[in-house]
Amino acid sequence: MRARVFCGIALTFLMALPPSVQAQAGGVSLPLGTAGPDAELQDLEGNDIQLLDYVQGKPALIEFWATWCELCEELQPQLDAIQARHGDELNVVAVAVGVAQSIRRVRRHLEDHDPGYPYLWDARGAAVRAYNATTTSIVVLLDGAGNVAYTGVGADQDLGAAVERLLGQ
């Protein structure tokens, strides 16, 4: 319980920093070209699933997300546009972190805005640890072979350009 409280405080502190500082203070430490790690998560019905099952077969965009994350909310229009334009070429997946939110809260959020791609529940922090995602609004792009092709954090990411580079457009 203390670890969860500490994580919540740490994430809250990082989220209060300007995006340029957040990128320096937190992010993903996976080197480009390394294999995207797998992690056991749950779907929103509580079934155990593997993250890589949702990103296999084509390039993927993974966002570490929370209902309370203002930067995630700012990224949402870009993600909606990517899903609309490239949803057939790219798997988009949101990983809902298990800090300061519940699976019920995530479901309620999706009642108001269903972007057309899966949201997965990371209750035990397996994906957060696997990707060393030290804050929310982190985006990881995996190429078609499952290797890390891009990482970024914060609302000032140009995800459309990153996706187009990944897809060779």
Return the pLDDT at 57: 85
Closest to 118 (Cα-Cα) out of 96, 100, 102 = 96
Structure pTM? Answer: 0.83
Cα 69 to Cα 112: distance, rounded to the nearest angstrom: 16
Q: For residue 125, what is the domain's CATH number?
A: 3.40.30.10
For 106-163, write each residue's pLDDT tens digit: 999 999 888 999 999 999 999 999 999 999 999 999 999 999 999 999 999 999 999 9
Mean pLDDT of the chain: 87
Q: Which domain holds residue 46?
A: 2-166
Q: Does residue 73 have a pLDDT over 50? A: yes
Cα 51 to Cα 43: distance, rounded to the nearest angstrom: 10
For 114-128, write each residue's pLDDT tens digit: 899 999 999 999 999
Q: How many domains does the chain have?
A: 1
